[in-house]
Amino acid sequence: MNKLTPLIKILVVDDHALIVEELCEFLESSGYTCVPCLSSREAIAAFVADSQIALVLCDLHMPDMDGIELTQHLQAIAGKRRAFESILLTGRADKQDVIKALRIGIADYYQKPIDLTELLEGIQRQETILLDRQRNDHLGHLNQKLQFLAESIDDLYHDMESVLRPPQRVPTPPAERVLSEVQIPSIFNQLSPRQMDVAKLVGKGQTNYQIACDLGITENTVKLYVSQVLRLTHMNNRTQLALALSPGASVKRHQHTSH
């Protein structure tokens, strides 16, 4: 099976140079790219240097570090972010070695002398598994990015909406517009904003209940504010307070000051 575009890169590790050469020649003739190594330490350096390596084909019995130890070391380097599979080649069918290899997650193993056709079929199966895993991981990352992007766009939309939306203004009743144009006597300057709000509503002729509803306070609080306003402005009752804030009173004051 010839591949025009190799999809995975294979790390071939064996302490026998002839075996490495034969395996690489066969796999490259089948369309794969191979990285040849003659020791586990050389393999570790190559694995770290080339993030495209996705399959490790290694001998089980090597002098410095066997294939199981090598795979464990590469798994520690790869962590959860880099997917790769390992296939062991062994000249001795030791049951305990096979069990140990499967426990650490070795994908497959083949006994020497190797049937190259069988090995190629096994590599192709692992290639399919790896590509599916990489595709799923990629889709997972894309989904996370899309979710983050969607949240960012949503936040941006709300920010723009709050900026572009014209300020919501409660329509001013005619009586209130007239009252806002009234020239307030200077004696009212000493009132607090809340006291002035109450005084203006008294000037409009509203009851304590209506004032309480408009300002979101209790009637007892309104009574307290009215009492304070009357005391501070030296007025005797609500009627006098209302007359002082009426448009007619403002006109009379204006006429008086103009003469």
What is the tally of structural domains in the chain? Answer: 2
- Residue 148: inside a domain: no
Structure tokens at 120: 């190629």
Residue 88: helix, strand or coil by DSSP? strand
Within-domain flag for 193: yes
For the stretch 67-126, pLDDT in tens is: 999 999 999 999 888 889 999 998 876 778 878 888 898 999 898 889 999 999 999 999
**Nearest C-alpha neighbor of 50 from the set 69, 74, 29, 28:** 74
* Residue 138 confidence (pLDDT): 65
In terms of domains, do 134 and 197 share one? Answer: no
pLDDT at 219 over 80: yes
Residue with tokens 């329509």: 171
* pLDDT grade for 165, boundaries at 50, 70 and 90: low
228 and 121 share one domain: no
- Please give the pLDDT value at position 254: 45
From 87, 117, 138, give the residue that closes a domain.
138
Domain identity same for 215 and 102: no
Q: What is the pLDDT of residues 30-62, one digit of tens each?
A: 999 999 999 999 999 999 999 999 999 999 999
Is residue 164 one of the residues assigned to a domain?
no
Q: How far apart are CA 242 and CA 226, in angstroms?
A: 11
Q: Is residue 165 part of a domain?
A: no
- Residue 198, both tokens: 């109450």
Residue 108 one-letter amino acid: D
Q: Up-side HSE of residue 152: CA atoms within 13 Å toward CB?
A: 6
By the 8 A CB rule, do 66 and 36 touch?
Answer: no
Burial class (CB within 10 angstroms; exposed 0-12, middle 13-18, buried 19+) of 152: exposed
Distance separating alpha carbons of residues 121 and 127, to the nearest angstrom: 10
Three-point CA angle 138, 140, 145, nearest 5°: 95
Least trusted range by pLDDT, from 2-6, 59-63, 167-171, 214-218: 2-6
103 and 190 inside one domain: no
Give the DSSP per-residue string, 133-147: HHHHHHHHHHHHHHH
Instruction: Tell me which DSSP letter residue 104 carries.
Output: T
Range(s) of the domain holding residue 223: 174-258
Q: Is residue 153 part of a domain?
A: no
Same domain, 23 and 68: yes
Query: Do 32 and 132 belong to one domain?
Result: yes
| Shared-domain flag, residues 126 and 15 | yes
Lowest mean pLDDT of 74-83, 114-123, 152-161, 191-200, name the range.
152-161
